[in-house]
Amino acid sequence: MKPLKELAFEILDAFKSRNQKRLRKLNDEILKEVTLDFSNTKYELAVFSYVLSKIVSKPRFLSRERVPSIRKIEDDIRDMAHVIGEVEEQIILDKFRKIEESISHLEQFDARFVRDLMSKGRLKAAATMYAQGISLGLASELTKIPKQDILDYAGRTMMFDRLKEEMPVKQRLKAARRILGGSE
Protein backbone atom coordinates (compact mmCIF):
# COMPACT_ATOMS: atom_id res chain seq x y z
CA MET A 1 0.00 0.00 0.00
CA LYS A 2 1.12 3.53 -0.73
CA PRO A 3 2.20 5.72 2.21
CA LEU A 4 -0.72 7.41 3.98
CA LYS A 5 0.57 10.88 3.10
CA GLU A 6 0.58 10.03 -0.60
CA LEU A 7 -2.95 8.66 -0.35
CA ALA A 8 -4.15 11.74 1.54
CA PHE A 9 -2.78 14.06 -1.15
CA GLU A 10 -4.29 11.87 -3.87
CA ILE A 11 -7.65 12.24 -2.14
CA LEU A 12 -7.18 16.00 -2.02
CA ASP A 13 -6.25 16.16 -5.71
CA ALA A 14 -9.18 13.99 -6.74
CA PHE A 15 -11.55 16.13 -4.67
CA LYS A 16 -10.20 19.37 -6.11
CA SER A 17 -10.63 18.05 -9.64
CA ARG A 18 -14.12 16.75 -8.70
CA ASN A 19 -13.04 13.29 -9.83
CA GLN A 20 -15.65 10.99 -8.34
CA LYS A 21 -14.33 7.87 -10.06
CA ARG A 22 -10.84 8.39 -8.68
CA LEU A 23 -12.19 8.97 -5.17
CA ARG A 24 -14.21 5.74 -5.34
CA LYS A 25 -11.15 3.85 -6.55
CA LEU A 26 -9.11 5.25 -3.70
CA ASN A 27 -11.88 4.23 -1.33
CA ASP A 28 -11.77 0.63 -2.60
CA GLU A 29 -8.00 0.54 -2.36
CA ILE A 30 -7.82 1.91 1.18
CA LEU A 31 -10.76 -0.11 2.46
CA LYS A 32 -9.12 -3.39 1.46
CA GLU A 33 -6.09 -2.41 3.46
CA VAL A 34 -8.33 -1.42 6.40
CA THR A 35 -9.86 -4.90 6.46
CA LEU A 36 -6.50 -6.64 6.23
CA ASP A 37 -4.71 -4.47 8.75
CA PHE A 38 -6.94 -2.03 10.59
CA SER A 39 -5.86 1.34 11.89
CA ASN A 40 -8.06 4.29 12.80
CA THR A 41 -6.18 6.60 10.44
CA LYS A 42 -6.61 4.28 7.45
CA TYR A 43 -10.26 3.77 8.34
CA GLU A 44 -10.86 7.54 8.44
CA LEU A 45 -9.11 7.96 5.07
CA ALA A 46 -11.38 5.28 3.60
CA VAL A 47 -14.52 6.89 5.00
CA PHE A 48 -13.55 10.39 3.83
CA SER A 49 -12.65 9.23 0.32
CA TYR A 50 -16.17 7.80 0.04
CA VAL A 51 -17.89 10.85 1.54
CA LEU A 52 -15.95 13.21 -0.72
CA SER A 53 -16.92 11.09 -3.74
CA LYS A 54 -20.57 11.55 -2.76
CA ILE A 55 -20.09 15.30 -2.42
CA VAL A 56 -18.57 15.71 -5.89
CA SER A 57 -21.37 13.61 -7.38
CA LYS A 58 -24.14 15.94 -6.12
CA PRO A 59 -24.56 19.21 -8.03
CA ARG A 60 -26.37 20.72 -5.02
CA PHE A 61 -23.11 20.61 -3.07
CA LEU A 62 -21.14 22.22 -5.89
CA SER A 63 -23.28 25.27 -6.60
CA ARG A 64 -21.80 28.76 -6.45
CA GLU A 65 -23.24 29.44 -2.98
CA ARG A 66 -21.43 26.41 -1.60
CA VAL A 67 -17.96 27.40 -2.87
CA PRO A 68 -16.76 28.77 0.51
CA SER A 69 -17.80 25.54 2.26
CA ILE A 70 -16.07 23.43 -0.38
CA ARG A 71 -12.90 25.53 -0.10
CA LYS A 72 -12.96 25.06 3.67
CA ILE A 73 -13.14 21.28 3.22
CA GLU A 74 -10.18 21.41 0.80
CA ASP A 75 -8.16 23.46 3.32
CA ASP A 76 -8.97 21.02 6.11
CA ILE A 77 -7.94 18.01 3.98
CA ARG A 78 -4.66 19.78 3.12
CA ASP A 79 -4.03 20.40 6.85
CA MET A 80 -4.55 16.73 7.56
CA ALA A 81 -2.46 15.56 4.59
CA HIS A 82 0.52 17.65 5.72
CA VAL A 83 0.78 15.90 9.08
CA ILE A 84 -0.49 12.39 8.40
CA GLY A 85 2.13 9.74 9.08
CA GLU A 86 4.34 12.25 10.86
CA VAL A 87 2.60 13.00 14.12
CA GLU A 88 0.81 10.90 16.72
CA GLU A 89 -2.53 9.40 15.73
CA GLN A 90 -4.69 11.56 18.00
CA ILE A 91 -3.52 14.75 16.27
CA ILE A 92 -4.44 13.28 12.88
CA LEU A 93 -7.82 12.13 14.17
CA ASP A 94 -8.47 15.69 15.42
CA LYS A 95 -7.73 16.93 11.90
CA PHE A 96 -10.26 14.44 10.54
CA ARG A 97 -12.85 15.78 13.00
CA LYS A 98 -12.27 19.26 11.55
CA ILE A 99 -12.96 17.95 8.05
CA GLU A 100 -16.07 16.24 9.41
CA GLU A 101 -17.31 19.52 10.90
CA SER A 102 -16.82 21.27 7.58
CA ILE A 103 -18.71 18.53 5.75
CA SER A 104 -21.57 18.72 8.27
CA HIS A 105 -21.68 22.46 7.73
CA LEU A 106 -21.97 21.94 3.96
CA GLU A 107 -24.74 19.39 4.44
CA GLN A 108 -26.71 21.58 6.84
CA PHE A 109 -27.79 23.89 4.02
CA ASP A 110 -29.84 21.19 2.38
CA ALA A 111 -30.30 18.15 4.59
CA ARG A 112 -32.28 15.44 2.78
CA PHE A 113 -31.63 12.19 4.61
CA VAL A 114 -31.92 11.09 8.22
CA ARG A 115 -28.47 9.54 7.98
CA ASP A 116 -25.85 12.18 7.20
CA LEU A 117 -22.97 11.67 4.77
CA MET A 118 -20.41 10.80 7.42
CA SER A 119 -22.63 8.18 9.08
CA LYS A 120 -23.41 6.76 5.67
CA GLY A 121 -19.71 6.56 4.85
CA ARG A 122 -18.94 4.79 8.11
CA LEU A 123 -21.80 2.34 7.65
CA LYS A 124 -20.73 1.59 4.08
CA ALA A 125 -17.17 0.93 5.25
CA ALA A 126 -18.36 -1.38 8.04
CA ALA A 127 -20.65 -3.35 5.72
CA THR A 128 -17.91 -3.68 3.11
CA MET A 129 -15.48 -4.99 5.71
CA TYR A 130 -18.07 -7.59 6.70
CA ALA A 131 -18.64 -8.46 3.04
CA GLN A 132 -14.91 -8.82 2.47
CA GLY A 133 -14.64 -11.50 5.11
CA ILE A 134 -14.22 -10.31 8.68
CA SER A 135 -17.01 -11.12 11.10
CA LEU A 136 -19.98 -8.90 11.80
CA GLY A 137 -18.86 -8.42 15.39
CA LEU A 138 -15.36 -7.40 14.42
CA ALA A 139 -16.61 -5.01 11.74
CA SER A 140 -18.93 -3.48 14.31
CA GLU A 141 -16.23 -3.24 16.98
CA LEU A 142 -13.62 -1.65 14.73
CA THR A 143 -15.94 0.89 13.13
CA LYS A 144 -18.20 1.45 16.17
CA ILE A 145 -21.24 0.95 13.95
CA PRO A 146 -24.02 -1.08 15.63
CA LYS A 147 -24.49 -4.61 14.30
CA GLN A 148 -28.12 -3.77 13.62
CA ASP A 149 -27.13 -1.10 11.08
CA ILE A 150 -24.56 -3.34 9.38
CA LEU A 151 -27.06 -6.20 9.08
CA ASP A 152 -29.68 -3.87 7.68
CA TYR A 153 -27.22 -2.65 5.04
CA ALA A 154 -25.78 -6.11 4.29
CA GLY A 155 -29.26 -7.56 3.82
CA ARG A 156 -29.87 -5.17 0.95
CA THR A 157 -26.71 -6.22 -0.88
CA MET A 158 -25.72 -9.39 -2.76
CA MET A 159 -22.91 -10.17 -0.32
CA PHE A 160 -24.38 -13.48 0.83
CA ASP A 161 -25.14 -14.55 -2.75
CA ARG A 162 -21.51 -14.08 -3.74
CA LEU A 163 -20.39 -16.76 -1.35
CA LYS A 164 -20.67 -20.48 -1.98
CA GLU A 165 -22.55 -22.31 0.75
CA GLU A 166 -21.02 -25.67 1.55
CA MET A 167 -24.05 -27.18 3.22
CA PRO A 168 -27.18 -27.71 1.13
CA VAL A 169 -30.48 -26.37 2.39
CA LYS A 170 -31.86 -29.91 2.69
CA GLN A 171 -29.11 -30.81 5.11
CA ARG A 172 -29.65 -27.64 7.12
CA LEU A 173 -33.33 -28.42 7.50
CA LYS A 174 -32.52 -31.95 8.51
CA ALA A 175 -30.29 -30.51 11.24
CA ALA A 176 -33.02 -28.10 12.32
CA ARG A 177 -35.53 -30.95 12.59
CA ARG A 178 -33.09 -32.99 14.63
CA ILE A 179 -32.36 -30.04 16.92
CA LEU A 180 -35.98 -29.20 17.55
CA GLY A 181 -37.78 -32.46 17.32
CA GLY A 182 -35.19 -35.08 17.89
CA SER A 183 -35.98 -36.65 14.52
CA GLU A 184 -34.95 -35.81 10.95
Residues in touch with other proteins (CB under 8 A): 32, 35-38, 130-138, 141, 146-152, 154-156, 159-161, 163-170, 172-173, 175-182
Q: What angle do CA 148, 149, 154 make, to 5 degrees?
A: 100
Comparing CB distances to other proteins, the nearer of 32 and 54 is 32
Comparing CB distances to other proteins, the nearer of 61 and 153 is 153
Cα(33)–Cα(3) distance, rounded to whole angstroms? 12
Minimum distance from residue 97 beta carbon to other proteins (Å): 20
Q: Which residues of 96-114 are buried (b: 16+ CB within 10 A; e: fewer)?
A: bebbbebbeebbeeeeeee
Comparing CB distances to other proteins, the nearer of 88 and 166 is 166
Cα(48)–Cα(42) distance, rounded to whole angstroms? 10
Residues in the chain: 184
Q: What angle do CA 72, 33, 42 make, to 5 degrees?
A: 30
Minimum distance from residue 154 beta carbon to other proteins (Å): 5
Minimum distance from residue 167 beta carbon to other proteins (Å): 6
Minimum distance from residue 10 beta carbon to other proteins (Å): 20
Comparing CB distances to other proteins, the nearer of 83 and 151 is 151
